[in-house]
């Protein structure tokens, strides 16, 4: 299983600064591109525009893609990272396919307005709760798994809050798990933040189970 994961909101400020500097020094063209793109939205209402990831996450994602050379990335929770993927794709010596899934109609419209659908492959789907415990929803973006038999990289940056019958619980994205079980193989991945989801995927997929 791909272990090249990075954590967003759980990093210390010192770590954030160090990774940002590494990003700037090792990938200056991508750093400048993302810095310029994000600055376009710095003055927007921050309760509305929240698609930017930690710069350390960008750094780790770039390294993972350049090292593993995935052919088909399936992304859950598109945003600024989708724009970065498109920029990286321009420098690869092969064609990179990216499929992005969003579950909130409002965000789907905003992302299109903000040019965060550069591949033209973002799809709006429903979020499905597969099971739950007292404090966690196990959920997935609802789409046919067999549509993506060639997936070799999963990027998890969603969902956000999951509220059902006015009950808000922590959530775990199970899409990667579903792929690995269906295709009986490990799939490389990056997870932005989402501590519960990261803990879930630290377990080998053959020993990983969902609550009944």
The pLDDT score that the predictor gives to residue 40 is 81
Average pLDDT, the chain: 87
The pLDDT score that the predictor gives to residue 187 is 95
Across the range 16-21, mean pLDDT stands at: 86
Output 120 or 8, whichever has higher pLDDT: 120
The pLDDT score that the predictor gives to residue 193 is 83
The pLDDT score that the predictor gives to residue 38 is 85
Of 79, 74, 171, 94, give the one whose Cα is nearest residue 128: 171
**What is the per-residue pLDDT across 54-72, written as a single tens digit (0 to 9) for each?**
888 999 999 999 999 999 9
**What is the per-residue pLDDT across 148-172, written as a single tens digit (0 to 9) for each?**
999 999 999 999 889 888 889 999 9
Q: What is the share, in percent, of the chain residues with pLDDT greater than 70?
A: 88
Q: Which of 7-21, 105-119, 124-138 has the lowest mean pLDDT?
A: 7-21
Across the range 67-79, mean pLDDT stands at: 96
């Amino acid at each position: 299983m791909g272990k090249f994961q990075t954590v967003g909101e759980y990093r210390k400020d010192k770590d954030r600064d160090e990774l940002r500097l590494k990003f700037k020094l090792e990938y200056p063209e991508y750093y400048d591109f993302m810095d310029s793109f994000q600055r376009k939205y710095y003055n927007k209402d921050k309760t509305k525009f929240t698609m930017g990831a930690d710069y350390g996450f960008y750094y780790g994602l770039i390294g993972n893609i350049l090292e593993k050379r995935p052919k088909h990335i399936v992304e859950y929770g598109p945003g600024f990272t989708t724009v970065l993927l498109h920029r990286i794709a321009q420098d690869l010596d092969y064609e990179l396919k990216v499929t992005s899934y969003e579950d909130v109609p409002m965000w789907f419209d905003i992302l299109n307005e903000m040019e965060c659908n550069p591949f033209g492959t973002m799809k709006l789907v429903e979020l499905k709760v597969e099971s739950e415990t007292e404090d966690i929803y196990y959920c997935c973006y609802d789409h046919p798994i067999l549509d993506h038999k060639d997936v070799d990289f999963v990027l998890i940056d969603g969902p956000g809050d999951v509220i059902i019958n006015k009950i808000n619980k922590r959530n775990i994205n199970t899409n990667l798990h579903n792929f690995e079980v269906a295709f009986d193989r490990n799939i490389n991945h990056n997870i932005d933040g989402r501590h519960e989801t990261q803990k879930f995927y630290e377990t080998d997929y053959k020993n990983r189970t969902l609550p009944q």
